[in-house]
Structure 1
Amino acid sequence: MKLHQLRIVLAVADKGSLRAAARELGISQPAITHSIAELERDLGATLFERNSRGVIPTPAGTAFLQRAAVIVSEARRAREEVAQILGSDQGSVTICLSIAAHLALLPMALPLFQRRYPQVRLRIVEGAFPAHEARLRDGSMDFYIGPAPEPAPAREFAVEALFPNTRAVFARRGHPLAQARSLKDLADAGWITTGITDKAEVELLDTFERYRLPAPRLVLQAESMLSMLLALTSSDLLAMTLRQYDEFPLSRGAIQRIPIKEALPAPPIVIVRRMALPLTPAADYLCDMFRRAAAAYVSERGLDGDMR
């Protein structure tokens, strides 16, 4: 079993066809067919089966692919770790950040990281933990920063609290309800649900129920920050979303916070990473810069950083 064979089966599984995998890897299709056949003989199992749209993994192939992804990721990490220990700043780091982490932490953490590792390629994916749990597990993603997952992730993951968080209600500037002081005053408004967590719609409904108010009228579901901001600025819809929108200059200039009296808690912001996979020096340094940015954020805003 060779490392290049593992890369080939992962590419075939990802692309769903031998031809597409060959283009992706820059090798011939017969070479891919030969490599997979050799690996299948070695394993004594068929890894892929054909269907009308290409190839799909067999049950044995699915199990093998999970292991192969970890091996390939760890091989990359090992090469990069050795190079970085020897003084090179080559390699790559892949992370997932929620909107809160983007707005509150990235502006400080990113320049610090770039000064230390100017040649390391950083890939940032926006999202919530459930959508990227598999990538954190197989090592193709280094860590996640965002709302604490509910329920708590499996014990193979380490969860580190960074700061507590809250929500607020937002509207376009000049909105007729801008001076409202209670959720009750907003009962007739149309609402946007947002992707703060993977349960954003339920959380909005639960908030109204907690304060014994009628269910809000849900009009639009925004899966990105840009969609939500454009919907808010071009309509009379409201959104209950992260307080960080009121702190970030670009968003604060487009929307305004409605100062209602009700408390609107949000999940704390945490780091999640797999305990069994040590980070490369570059990824570990970036994680430390996010910790530093979180400490500064807590200090500047007088937040209680102890969430035990």
Structure 2
Amino acid sequence: MKLNQLRDLVAIVERGSLRGAARHLDVAQSGLTRSIRNLERELGHPMFERDARGMVLTPMGRVFYQRASSAMNELRRADEEMAQAQGGALGTVVAGLSIMPHLGMLPGALGPFRQRFPGVTLKVIEGLYPAIEPGLRNGTIDFYLGAASQAAPAPGLIAETLFENTRIVVGRKGHPLAAARSLKELSTADWATPSLDVIAAEDLNEVFSRFKLGQPQIRLQANSAMSLLVALAHSDLLTMLPRQWAEFALTQHALQVIPVRERLTAPPIVFLRRADLPLTPAAEHLSDLLKRYA
């Protein structure tokens, strides 16, 4: 088995076709075809089948792809780590962040990170742990920083709790319920939930149940901060967000906090990475900067 065979298989999966993979790798399609056929012959199983969507992994192909992808990501990291350790400033850092670190940590960390590693490409993925976990496990995502999941982290991941957090009620400027000071006064409002990655509706139901209120009327589910911001700013929907939203300058002109007296707990903020895969110097530096703002 050769490294170029693993590279070729991963490229076909990620690009969805032989043509896309050949263009990405700058090689001939015929060479990719021979590479995959040789790999299949060596493994004794077909890796792909063709359908209207292009090249699709077989069940055995899906099993092998997980290992091949992980191996290629580890080699990429090793190459970048050696270059960065020798003073180089190239490579890629992929960070999975939930809403809270996007608003409360990333703004302060970006400047110093860009100054220290100006040539490193930073990829930021917005999401919660359940959606980020596959990338952490196969090495495509360097680390996750954000709200903890109700489920325990997958085996092989290191979890570090940074701090406990609380939530606030947020609505548009001039919301008709802006004078409310208790959750009970907001119990008949229409609500939005900030993510589809965890069972956000159940989470909001649990908050209302804790204060012996009926189930909230959830009228919108948004799976990105931008979608939620637009919905809140242009409707009478309310939502519960990490308290750090109140300090985010870009939303202060459109949104306001409705200061209810109840203490609204939030999932703790955690940092997760693979135990057996050291971070590159650039990823380590970014994670340290983000933690500093915790």
Alpha-carbon distance, 1:197 to partner: 5.6
Structure-2 change in CA distance of 1:53 and 1:117 (3 Å)? closer
**Matched residues in 2 for 1:22 and 1:255: separation?**
48
**Matched residues in 1 for 2:14 and 2:85: separation?**
32
**Matched residues in 2 for 1:165 and 1:127: separation?**
17
Which residue of structure 2 aligns with residue 7 of structure 1?
7
TM-score, normalized by length of structure 2? 0.95
**Matched residues in 2 for 1:111 and 1:246: separation?**
22
Which residue of structure 1 aligns with residue 217 of structure 2?
217
**Matched residues in 1 for 2:120 and 2:55: separation?**
35
1:252-281 per-residue CA deviation (whole Å, 9 max, x = no partner) reads 221111111111110111111010101111
Where 1:213 maps in the other structure, the secondary structure is coil
Which residue of structure 1 aligns with residue 190 of structure 2?
190
User: Within 5 A, what are the aligned runs for 1:1-308?
Assistant: 1-195=1-195, 198-294=198-294
Q: Which amino acid aligns with 1:124?
A: V
Q: Which amino acid aligns with 1:34?
A: R
CA contact (8 A) 2:177 2:186 kept: yes
Q: Which amino acid aligns with 1:23?
A: R
Where 2:261 maps in the other structure, the secondary structure is coil
Alpha-carbon distance, 1:57 to partner: 1.7
CA contact (8 A) 2:169 2:257 kept: yes
**Matched residues in 1 for 2:269 and 2:105: separation?**
11
Count of paired positions: 294
Alpha-carbon distance, 1:60 to partner: 2.1
Alpha-carbon distance, 1:52 to partner: 4.1
Where 1:286 maps in the other structure, the secondary structure is helix
Where 1:161 maps in the other structure, the secondary structure is strand
**Matched residues in 1 for 2:155 and 2:52: separation?**
40
State the identity %.
50
**Matched residues in 2 for 1:117 and 1:109: separation?**
12
Alpha-carbon RMSD: 1.5
**Matched residues in 2 for 1:121 and 1:187: separation?**
45
Where 1:92 maps in the other structure, the secondary structure is strand
Alpha-carbon distance, 1:135 to partner: 1.0
Structure-2 change in CA distance of 1:154 and 1:107 (3 Å)? same
TM-score, normalized by length of structure 1? 0.91
**Matched residues in 2 for 1:87 and 1:28: separation?**
35
1:37-71 per-residue CA deviation (whole Å, 9 max, x = no partner) reads 11122223221223343332222211211111111
Alpha-carbon distance, 1:25 to partner: 2.4
Alpha-carbon distance, 1:4 to partner: 1.9
**Deviation above 3 Å: which 4+ runs of structure 1?**
none
Where 1:236 maps in the other structure, the secondary structure is coil
Gaps of 5+ in 1: 295-308
Q: Which amino acid aligns with 2:46?
A: T
Q: Which amino acid aligns with 1:154?
A: A
CA contact (8 A) 1:74 1:139 kept: yes
CA contact (8 A) 1:99 1:196 kept: no
Alpha-carbon distance, 1:164 to partner: 1.4
1:2-23 per-residue CA deviation (whole Å, 9 max, x = no partner) reads 2222121112223333223223
**Matched residues in 1 for 2:227 and 2:46: separation?**
45
Where 1:130 maps in the other structure, the secondary structure is helix
**Matched residues in 1 for 2:175 and 2:221: separation?**
20
**Matched residues in 1 for 2:84 and 2:20: separation?**
33
Where 2:293 maps in the other structure, the secondary structure is helix
Gaps of 5+ in 2: none
CA contact (8 A) 2:104 2:245 kept: no
